[in-house]
Structure 1
Amino acid sequence: MGYACPVCEIPQQDETHLANHLAFSAMLGREGHEEWLDEHVPDWEGMGPEELGERAAAFATEEEFETVFEDTTGNRGGAGRFEDAVPPQRGRQAMGGEASEVLAEAEAMTREMYESEEE
Structure 2
Amino acid sequence: MGYACPICEIPQQDEKHLANHLAFAAMLGREDHEGWLDEHVPDWEGMGPESLGERVATFAPEEEFETTFEDTTTGHGGSGRLEDAVPRQHGRQAMGGEASDVLAEAQAMTREMYESEEE
Give the structure-2-normalised TM-score.
Answer: 0.76
Quick one: distance in 2 between partners of 1:9 and 1:85? 18
Report the RMSD for the aligned CA atoms in angstroms.
2.8
Q: What amino acid does structure 1 have at the position aligned with 2:77?
A: N
Quick one: distance in 2 between partners of 1:60 and 1:86? 23
Query: Which is worse superposed, 103-112 or 45-54?
Result: 103-112
Question: Identity across aligned pairs (percent)?
Answer: 79
Contact 1:6 1:61 in 2 (8 A): no
Q: Deviations over 1:66-99 (max 9, x none)?
A: 22343442521xx7xxxx8663414732433321
- 1:68 corresponding residue in structure 2: 68
Q: Which runs of 4+ in 1 moved over 4 A?
A: 109-114
- 2:96 corresponding residue in structure 1: 96
- 1:57 corresponding residue in structure 2: 57
Contact 1:37 1:44 in 2 (8 A): yes
Give the structure-1-normalised TM-score.
Answer: 0.76
Q: Deviations over 1:29-88 (max 9, x none)?
A: 124000000000000001010000000000013111122343442521xx7xxxx86634
- 1:34 corresponding residue in structure 2: 34
SS in 2 for 1:3: strand
- 2:15 corresponding residue in structure 1: 15
Contact 1:3 1:11 in 2 (8 A): yes
- Structure 1 runs not aligned, ≥5 long: none
Quick one: distance in 2 between partners of 1:111 and 1:22? 17
Contact 2:26 2:34 in 1 (8 A): yes
**Matched residues, number:** 111
* Structure of higher CA gyration radius: 1
- 2:6 corresponding residue in structure 1: 6
